[in-house]
Structure 1
Amino acid sequence: MAIIAVGSINTDLVVRVESFPIPGETVYGDEFATYAGGKGANQAAAAARLNGNVKMIGAVGDDANSSERLADLKDAGVDISPVMIRSQSPGGVALIQVDASGQNQIVIVPGANGTVSPDDVRHELPDLLSAGDLVLLQFELPFETVKQSLEQCRSHSARSIVNTAPYVTGTADLLNLIDILVVNEIEAGQLLGIKPVSLDQAEDAARDLLARGPEVVFVTLGGDGAVICDADSCEHIPAPDVDVVDTTGAGDATVGAFAMALDEGQDVASAARIAVMTGSFAVQRPGAQPSQPTRAELDAFVAKHS
């Protein structure tokens, strides 16, 4: 089987600050760096670094940043042959501030990502799909493109893993098309029309979301770990205690690892445990894709924290 990631490919422009500026305030940054990013690319790279068989559908510009991003994905082990190059659009960019505690604020300029259309997916995805494959989706592509991807999954007996980030109005209407739903505490609340859920509320929220269509709901909770639920059971998976350097991309590392483990044939609870460990590893290093572990690094980390 294979994982086909349909998603965004960005260049992350990251500045580290002591604290975030308030409106109208100018502050000095401590460091500046350029990293590979984009939720789709991050998740694809995370799965591939853990030895997953991953292909990527997306779009980049005909510019230096885009060429570097394709090279990064290839180096991670992702098959980039389906990626489209748009000569009339620049590659996507994310402007990211990271404060002293490792928290971030992000502004995204979609660029070529915004040109990936339902027709592109209709033409590209069926040629890559086999029954049982996993299609990994997020919402940094146009809404209708994500919807078309889900419809193609149903038509070709593939399973969808959908990370509803960033949250887009109308996402709740797609829940009956989603096989495996991954949300954080904020996105779970947004889908249910409530405030962000706490650890104590996560299981109830997951069960409410299960009732709306998905077969599996995975609620990630940062330092509190995650809750994984299917029709038979729910389980809280705690996260190990680590020193947080940068949370950028940690959620994507979690999702990519979850997809990899499911594609290997792990049950959902075991896959969720691997995913939580991967996300916990990633917050210890800066950058979205550079923070992701290899399989050997993850195995050593799991052994240390078991």
Structure 2
Amino acid sequence: MLKNYDVVAVGSGNIDLIFRVPRLPGNDDKVVGEKIAESPGGTVANSACMMATLGLKVISLSSAGDDRYGESIINDFARHGVETKYIQINPGQSPNMAIIILDDSGEKSLIYAPGNHCEWDQETAFNAIGASKVMYTMPGDLEKYAIQAKYARSQGTKVAVDIEPHIATNKQQMADILNLADIAIFNRDGFIASSKCDPDWPVLHAMRRKYSLSALVVTCGAKGVMAVTEDEEAEHPGFRVPVVDTTGAGDIFNAAFIYSWIHHYPLRSAVEFSCAAAALNIMKLGARGQLGRPEEIERFISSANREV
């Protein structure tokens, strides 16, 4: 099948409700805060918008309701240049919601409330996957992921996955995902939850070889990132910037890494570029607060390196 798109982003958007508080509440506690934003978000959706901003041709394979929330999600995809024709509109579908609580440091706590479950249309999904060079997803539904990833492989479409702690809680689930993946990006907690190991170089190299991955990446929050390919390993401590809101930092990193991989960046450059993209975004409010274009990210890197 002709590859008209660089990436199909498999996963629906959220509505993010963002509150600021002087401190995060504890058990049987109460704080007074303020609602500061209501905006579209969502892990895969944020990455889709970032990849499109970077210049990739991206389609969203997802669903949305026919209410104002669904309209907001679709309109924001379109505003960032994400193709929306494969989004399934379901009357009465309630959106995924995320309540994001920011303290004065800009670090977040998050409550995620999934919307009502909607069936997916296999023919539409296969058309979108077959027309794309890369399928990117957070595989929350392993049965659906397996069907889509196997089809992707049959069509020569590479599979990139984002794995957080709730996605794979044991080695078998991790194996089921990685056996069908080409690129795996974990956050540190997701890596430990699924592999039962701390991320270090021997473990990363062994895992990459075991599952024949093109790239294996572990993001470690403020401690930076580690990544391996067949021929390279690279790490980056992250950029020190004034933090306004860390929401979406991992999503933006993932998008920039996939962009770098598609454009054949050396691994060290890919990791640096991706960290820089995430750093730019956390200096603004919201998961899509400051989506940098390639030239903006490169200028940031040059400026940061001059200051070192």
TM score, norm. by length of structure 1: 0.89
Greater RCO, CA 8 A, separation 6+: 1
* Structure 1 residue 116 displacement after superposition: 4.7
The one-letter code of the counterpart of 1:126 is F
Whether 2:196 is the aligned partner of 1:182: answer no
| Aligned: 1:18 with 2:16 | no
Find out whether 1:136 has 2:136 as its counterpart: yes
Equivalence for 1:68:
72
| Map of 1:207 onto structure 2 | 205
Number of residue pairs matched by the alignment: 296
CA contact (8 A) 1:217 1:229 kept: yes
For residues 48 and 177 of structure 1, do their structure 2 counterparts lie closer, same or farther at Cα, with a shift above 3 Å needed? same
Aligned partner of residue 153 in structure 1, secondary structure: helix
Matches within 5 A, 1:114-263: 114-117=117-120, 120=121, 122-130=122-130, 133-139=133-139, 141-165=140-164, 167-168=166-167, 169=169, 170-194=173-197, 197=198, 201-213=199-211, 214-263=213-262
Whether 1:282 aligns to 2:281 is yes
Calculate the aligned-residue CA RMSD, in Å.
Answer: 2.0
**Rounded Cα–Cα distance in structure 2 between residues aligned with 1:138 and 1:185:** 15
**SS of equivalent residue, structure 1 residue 111:** coil
Distance 1:208 1:86 in 2: 44
Q: Secondary structure at the match of 2:99?
A: strand
- The superposition leaves residues 279-306 of structure 1 with CA deviations (integer Å, 9 ceiling, x where unpaired) of 1111111100123223343232122113
**Cα distance in 1 for residues equivalent to 2:271 and 2:119:** 30
1:35 to 13, 34, 39: 39
Which is worse superposed, 129-138 or 59-68?
129-138
Displacement of 1:131 after TM fit? 7.9
Q: Deviations over 1:152-199 (max 9, x none)?
A: 2211111111001353242442211111000111111112124xx4xx
Report the residue type matching 2:20 in the other structure: R
The 2-side partners of 1:94 and 1:137 are apart by: 18
2:179 is paired with a residue of what secondary structure? helix
More off after superposition, 162-171 vs 60-69 = 162-171
Deviation at 1:255, TM superposition (A): 0.6
Residues 59-115 of structure 1: CA deviation (Å, up to 9, x unaligned) = 111110110111111010100110111113112111111122222221222215x32
Give the distance between the partners of 1:31 and 1:89, measured in 2 at CA: 24
Gaps of 5+ in 2: none
2:14 touches 2:96 (CA, 8 Å); kept in 1? Answer: yes
SS at match of 1:2: strand
Alpha-carbon separation, structure 1, partners of 2:24 and 2:143: 34
Give the percent of matched residue pairs that are identical in Structure 1 and Structure 2. Answer: 25
- 1:100 paired with 2:98, answer no
Aligned residue type for 1:191:
S
**1-structure distance, mates of 2:49, 2:126:** 22
Q: What is the distance in 2 between the residues matched to 1:135 and 1:272?
A: 20
Q: Which amino acid aligns with 1:304?
A: S
Report SS of the residue matched to 1:96. strand
Structure 2 length-normalised TM: 0.89
